[in-house]
Structure 1
Amino acid sequence: MTQQLYTTPDAAKATGIPESTIRSWLSRHPEVFQFNVHVVTDEHKQKLWTEAGIELLQSRRASKNATDDDANLDAESDAPDLLESLLDEDAERLANEYWRQLPGRTLQRIKQMRDNPTPEQRQIVQTSVRAALSAGTEHLLLPTYQPMLLEGGDETD
């Protein structure tokens, strides 16, 4: 799905905010307008506004009169909400990607430990293998089976 992008003049028309104000906001308040979220650059280094950027411009216009002197605008009031929404989105994307990559990365590490272990990893693997073998043969060491094993007897007698 291709995202709709707007030049600054198009963004000005869509929002009713003068181009000069949009450019001023972008340069004076970089903490509010996030690149690759609200604004992207094309191959010619031209700044293009995303749908999210247009929405943010409109919300700023609604909360501040766009004809006011830009020096009176309080971008910091928008920053906590913006930051929270970005953190929430990013945290979810990171968590999803973590769980997607975990099985493959785990197998990769297991193969690395098997093929080229560090001394610590070698000890971990040896201990684990011994524990698995011990757990699987523990029934052979029980007193009720020892006479049969020593005499060569069969358990199914």
Structure 2
Amino acid sequence: MSRDRIATVIANPLAAVRSDAELLDFAAHCAQSVREDSSDEALAESSRKLIVAVTALLRDWFPASDYTPLGTTTLLSMALMRGKYDSKANFSCRKTPLDLMFNQIESGEKYVKDVSGGWSWRKSSLVRGEDGARPAETKAIHECLLRTSSLGSE
């Protein structure tokens, strides 16, 4: 590994996480830290799956500049945010912003506020960075989820 590459990895550990195998290894290490701190296997496994999902989301759907520990923290916080998104007036199914992001990838639609103040589903312009694919149209999200769950369950 070159000196520049080492400096990049030190500044941003996710720079070394590119392939699915590297992503699963990264998530397993994070889950191991949870396991050591809490001795709770269910919590560690849930953490591993959430880190796989969030890291893959960043890697595949966001600009490379967002693929950082701060980007990961931001998406993880979206899993916890409820606030105005948790009211029946705004969104009756009570999904978090992260749920809505994954739904946008799966369905190809996003939930937006209309000019009149109401909410409706509209076609999303979101595309995967690597190849420009829209998984809602290609069903790639389902293949990715199956592959990720089978690879990372050791």
TM-score tier, shorter chain, comes to under 0.3
Q: What TM-score comes out, normalization by structure 1 length?
A: 0.23
Q: What TM-score comes out, normalization by structure 2 length?
A: 0.24
